[in-house]
Structure 1
């Protein structure tokens, strides 16, 4: 009995010893090359990772593992392997091209652009990332229209109502992109917004009238690729607001008299800064804005995290938290907003991004690297919608639509007593961009 137990234990021990891989350069090189020839990418990755854990790592293993991850479309995991290969043999055009596309398919376009500077003329001509000699490398335009509920407060004929109700708002913008021959890029946009509000007030010669609102905006954003996967951004958004209200009356003889009720012009500035870092399957971003909008001072830090579970941009999830400190008339208040977003590619060249913003009610909300400023006189409660992107002509043209629905709270008074009313705003944005 004891001899049988001893024999069985000895057999198990011998089998376990025989089944253990022996990791040395010769064995790993031969087996990884065989798995590479067989295109057994999953087994190659498993074997290669075990080899690295056993301190057997060399140039060709890195090359083969990079290709294995790339063939499985796990581009973010392929990047560090190809980076190591290119660092050792920068003249290898094939490795450079692999790394270039791994960057592009991971959403790291600035890394791809900087890498392209080291390409040979033939490889540059093949990939045609952008024209280094062009001053303008991208141009785009977009238009947005809004649809509002009729949220005028219900009153009696004898009530004194003080309320401003947004009636319409339309937005037009044109933007330019400049890519330098170094690690800098510049994006800027010129925008025009036009709308009108219905005003109900006892403080003027008429109790009901329309005010016209015109905004001229200029936005500029500087991006510096400080290191691989690391970007530093600085931005500025200037807003020139013009509000004007007139009362027009007509005489019995067809004449027309216009009386200016009020007119005002204000200038507002928003400063923005951000640092972002790509780490494996994650993108982390820390940002902050400082602004003086609607006679108030806002400081708004935020932190975002994006996750790419399949190591590519076919599916991703993101969240971003905003916290706003506001000073108005020597009174400090704070508000928060949380954004959740996901992106997926249902078919080639088409991306859908559902999103939602949810907070405790916030004024003068700044987001999208300070490109979007919600400076409505009403409080933003939440916002949800979807971004739809269609990429054409090998990435040189993008057509997009943004569908949104927002909930706002409007404050009004009847006979001196203040009340709140919630309403819905729906909007459609359409845009197109060309890259060259």
Structure 2
């Protein structure tokens, strides 16, 4: 009898010392019940608090993530909403609700190709119900103008005049997982003794959303530079081919890029490694870095052939209610023939940039229209004079989604 009583005491102690199995099951049921209750009551703050408590207890399931995603959507935080639906999709790749809301949240955060990838996985009735066409040949138009002003000494002595840059672009979706962007741009600036530089460019790029996380890009650029050295003028055409792979891993973005530019005098190779991380608390914010290796090879064997490193750092944050986005950037290194902004801009001005700093504000006026204002400060180098000077630039742009 003593042995039986002792065994009973030991059993009670074991159960009392390890209540997590029982309480875990009860907690899962409670989380499910409470989250559904708060969801029906539209008590989004209570639902989010319940989700945080559940995650601290390592409790997670698809419906909880979907309810949290909807709660953040109703609170206007599209970034957090997208993150929750992405977690929900990991539980069930075929879930139509998760994919539908990933379409909405990616579109709301400007990731239109990723949004259309999820739309391509939806049944036809949902695609029709939400008016998601397979092709959209005219998705958006954009335009920008930039005014560039060198420091006073170089302007006053007619060494460098004010410069201007203008660009127009067109974006289209020929298929669910394919996007095409094309732009035309022009640049002009006067230099010493009445000389002028005029440059026209065409840039086209194709993006393919291979998977939900992997994007491939190929781009082509034609550069037509005309230099006027009074009384003579000569034309120097060039071409560039570029490739890029982007992979998204949870909150991290990884990418590799490569491009090659050539004209009658030289060839320039550029290879880049990019990485970034995004956070959504207390406000959406991201930090991106990139390092580039550049190599010039001149047709004349006596020309310079020196590899160099260019580094870029960018910090962006949403400042106000998904309406105002701010961004700071710095690019260091010899940026002669450098391509930046995912291939958007090509820097081959007469005076190469050695340092570039920028600050930009973007206002999302409504779901169709956004406007941006960018201030840039560049440290440039004049080869013939072996001198540096600073140039300021003010750029305004608009994007109109049709």
The 1:152–1:133 alpha-carbon spacing in structure 2 relative to 1, beyond 3 Å, is closer
Pair 1:135 & 2:152 matched: no
What is the rounded CA distance, in whole Å, between the counterparts of 1:66 and 1:31 in structure 2?
Answer: 17
CA shift at 1:16, angstroms? 2.8
Q: CA deviation at 1:168?
A: 2.3
- Give yes or no for contact 1:380–1:407 (8 Å, CA) kept in 2: yes
Q: Alignment partner of 1:412: what SS?
A: coil
Q: Check whether the contact 1:178–1:187 (CA below 8 A) recurs between aligned residues.
A: yes
> Please, what TM-score do these two structures have when normalized by structure 1?
0.77
2:399 paired with 1:433:
yes
Match status 1:231 vs 2:215: yes
* 1:113 partnered with 2:116: yes
Q: Are residues 150 and 45 of structure 1, via their aligned partners in 2, closer, same or farther at CA, if it must alter by over 3 Å?
A: closer
1:356 Cα deviation (Å)? Answer: 0.8
1:291 aligned residue (227, 244, 261): 261
Conserved 8 A contact 2:143-2:397: yes
Distance 1:137 1:312 in 2: 32
Tell me if the contact between 1:83 and 1:99 (Cα under 8 Å) persists in the aligned partners: no
Partner of residue 169, structure 2? 175
Structure 1 alignment gaps of length 5 or more: 1-7, 156-163, 199-208, 247-259, 414-419
Contact 1:189 1:219 in 2 (8 A): yes
Aligned residue pairs total 376
1:378 pairs with 2:351: yes
Moved more, 100-109 or 316-325: 100-109
**Distance (Å, rounded) in 1 between the aligned partners of 2:251 and 2:365:** 27
Higher relative contact order (CA 8 A, sep 6+): 1
Give, in whole Å, the separation in 2 of the partners of 1:225 and 1:11. Answer: 58
TM-score w.r.t. the length of structure 2 is: 0.82
Any idea what the Cα deviations from partners look like across 1:127-174, whole Å, max 9, x if unmatched?
A: 667x6554211111111110002555999xxxxxxxx93312111111
Q: Tell which deviates more after alignment, 11-20 or 373-382.
A: 11-20
- More strand by percentage: 1
Q: 1:86 to 1:12 in 2, by over 3 A?
A: closer
What is the deviation of 1:51?
Answer: 5.8
8 Å contact 2:82–2:101 — kept in the other structure?
no
Could you say which residue in structure 1 is the equivalent of 2:291? 321
Aligned residue among 203, 228, 234 for 1:219? 203
Equivalent-residue separation in structure 1 for 2:136 and 2:94 (angstroms): 32
Runs of 4+ in 1 over 4 A off after TM superposition: 8-14, 19-24, 48-52, 117-129, 131-134, 150-155
Deviations 1:38-62 (A, max 9, x none): 444344355368567xxxx8xxx31
> How far did residue 375 of structure 1 move?
0.4
Instruction: Indicate the larger mover: 384-393 or 423-432.
Output: 384-393
Change (3 A) 1:119 1:88: closer
How far does residue 97 in structure 1 lie from its aligned partner after superposition? 3.5
Q: Per the alignment, in what secondary structure is the counterpart of residue 116 of structure 1?
A: helix
Distance 2:27 2:377 in 1: 57
